[in-house]
A and B are shown apart, each in its own frame.
Chain A
Amino acid sequence: MNPTLPDLLTGITVALSTPLPPEASGEYAAGRQGMIATIAILCAQEAERGGAARVWENGAMRALFGRAAPKYDGGLGGRLRQAASGVDADFTWAGLDAANADLRRVLIALHEAVEDAGDRRLDREILNLYRDMARARRLDLAGG
């Protein structure tokens, strides 16, 4: 997912250390400070939950690909089987995100094929997965 946690932390540090012109002091500066503080709090949430969300999402996609693979021959079938057999080995944020990006590309290709085939059962399963993926990545503004 982007922006990444390192991007965010680097970014708010850059923002904090960049002087503002005189006309941007006052209300704008106060609002900007508040936004930086909110991002920092959300970074804490992401640090707490983000790794687990990525591991879960990668696993859920692989499980789906394993169930869908027998339905597809050729290139897509091969991609599904290969992706389904993978495991997360690099548990850095960058490593998990790279694996996640690869899996998401396969998911997009699978969903396109499912739609073309009119496979309503698998389509529904993918839509449910989308809902779960989005919920797993939720950030709570109130810090809860």
Chain B
Amino acid sequence: MSLTAQLAAYLSRTGGAPATIDMISRISGGASRETYRFDATQNGERCGYILRRDPPGSLIDTDRRLEFAAIRSFAGKGVCAPDALALEVEGAELERPFFIMRRIDGGATGSPFAPDPYAAHAGAIGEQFFTIMGKIAGEPVDGLPICDVTDRPALDACWTRELDYWAGVIDEDEIHPQPIVRAAVRRLRRHPPPPAQKLAVVHGDYRSGNFLHDGAGRIIAVLDWEMAHLGDPLEDLAWATDPLWSHPAGGRISGMLALPDAVAIWERASGLKVDPAAFAWWRLFASVKAQAIWISSAREWRDGGFKEPILAFSGWLTARRQDEILAEALANFEAA
């Protein structure tokens, strides 16, 4: 049965009325899920949706319940979270786990590899980008839907939880020995950060390329919440400012703002402070996590039968660039 027919069957059953599907099209991005846009007509009403379905092989092993709950945690809270509508962890008619969101039309993403992805709107987009991130960090976590599907680390255990997980990914998926990232893992363990100043929702992949903007300087959606978790609020800030997401020639974070300006905006929006030593730790960690993902990607590409070129791209070109970033960060870490 085609995906179109599967979706029609699912929506007809759950909506209690015949649904027709058209304009279905797979879209690029979101390498850890197959992502499709489609229109559905039911009871005479036509709406646009996004389907996120688990692929047979994935760049990141995550629980789709987490992404769904994370998005729902921020519905109506001014952080441009999409409207999450339906989740099927067993896959139902689509045979693999999936969820459906309302589609936000008219948006574009900026490539992390472009030197000036936001052009004249860089400042305005940067202001919103770091403000939204700060709002997510500052949100009290008690009662949020994400708390029902993830554990709640102690403030002084946020770093070990993340580092242990990603170091484990490296152990599991490394094919060729990786001395640089292994040295970074050891360095992080020897120089732990201070406890988190609060427990926060961490988006987990908040960066250039993972939001939609309208082309006129306004962010309209924050995407790709699949690595969301509870943890140290500095984690997202460190991830977004990893040099990987910025063109090497640019000198600005993701082509938006200088780092001190980005930090100041984040502090204002979150009501939190950036401790330099803690931030340095989380920035090195961000590079470790990224490299773990690229290592996994290379493994998945090989073991999955070489089907998705994005996995090769991430596991090769991106991994090489990450090694350069890691080596530089390691050399400067203790001096920070």
Provide the residues of chain B in CB contact with A24, threshold 8 Å. Answer: 25-26
* Inter-chain contact A8/B316, CB cutoff 8 Å: yes
User: Whole-angstrom distance from the CB of A30 to the nearest CB of chain B?
Assistant: 8
Query: B320 within 8 Å of A by Cβ?
Result: yes
User: Whole-angstrom distance from the CB of B21 to the nearest CB of chain A?
Assistant: 10
* Inter-chain contact A12/B312, CB cutoff 8 Å: yes
Interface positions, chain B 286-317, Cβ under 8 Å from A, are: 298, 301-302, 305-310, 312-313, 315-317
Query: A31 within 8 Å of B by Cβ?
Result: yes
User: Whole-angstrom distance from the CB of B321 to the nearest CB of chain A?
Assistant: 8
Give the nearest-CB partner of A36 in chain B.
B309
* Inter-chain contact A23/B36, CB cutoff 8 Å: yes
Contact stretch, chosen from A67-75, A76-84, A85-93, A127-135: A127-135
Provide the residues of chain A in CB contact with B313, threshold 8 Å. Answer: 35, 38-39
Give the nearest-CB partner of A18 in chain B.
B307
Provide the residues of chain B in CB contact with A108, threshold 8 Å. Answer: 177, 179, 182-183
* Inter-chain contact A7/B177, CB cutoff 8 Å: no
* Inter-chain contact A131/B315, CB cutoff 8 Å: no
In the bound complex, how far is the Cα of B263 from the Cα of A122, in angstroms? 35
User: Whole-angstrom distance from the CB of A143 to the nearest CB of chain B?
Assistant: 12
* Inter-chain contact A2/B302, CB cutoff 8 Å: yes
- Residue interface bits A103-144, CB-to-B below 8 A is 1, else 0: 011011001100100000000001110110111011101000
User: Whole-angstrom distance from the CB of B1 to the nearest CB of chain A?
Assistant: 12
Report the interface size class on chain A.
35 or more
Contact stretch, chosen from B122-130, B250-258, B322-330: B322-330
Provide the residues of chain B in CB contact with A137, threshold 8 Å. Answer: 320, 323
Interface positions, chain B 258-299, Cβ under 8 Å from A, are: 298
* Inter-chain contact B182/A115, CB cutoff 8 Å: no
User: Whole-angstrom distance from the CB of B195 to the nearest CB of chain A?
Assistant: 24
Q: Known contacts A42-B317, A134-B180, A139-B317; is A14 also within 8 Å of B25 by CB?
A: no
Q: Known contacts A15-B309, A104-B179; is A3 also within 8 Å of B4 by CB?
A: no
Give the nearest-CB partner of B304 in chain A.
A11
Provide the residues of chain B in CB contact with A22, threshold 8 Å. Answer: 2
Query: A63 within 8 Å of B by Cβ?
Result: no
Interface positions, chain A 1-52, Cβ under 8 Å from B, are: 1-3, 7-8, 10-12, 14-15, 18, 21-28, 31-32, 35-36, 38-39, 42
* Inter-chain contact A139/B320, CB cutoff 8 Å: yes
User: Whole-angstrom distance from the CB of B26 to the nearest CB of chain A?
Assistant: 4
* Inter-chain contact B309/A32, CB cutoff 8 Å: yes
Write 5 A-B pairs (CB below 8 A) sorted by A numbering: A27-B26, A27-B28, A107-B177, A115-B186, A130-B330
List residues of chain A with CB under 8 Å of any chain B CB.
1-3, 7-8, 10-12, 14-15, 18, 21-28, 31-32, 35-36, 38-39, 42, 97, 100-101, 104-105, 107-108, 111-112, 115, 126-128, 130-131, 133-135, 137-139, 141
List residues of chain B with CB under 8 Å of any chain A CB.
2-4, 24-28, 36, 113, 175-180, 182-183, 186, 190, 298, 301-302, 305-310, 312-313, 315-317, 320-321, 323-324, 326-328, 330-331
Q: List 15 other contacts, CB 8 Å, given A14-B306, A115-B190, A130-B323.
A: A2-B298, A7-B301, A10-B306, A12-B306, A18-B307, A21-B2, A23-B4, A26-B25, A31-B28, A101-B177, A105-B177, A108-B183, A134-B324, A138-B320, A141-B317
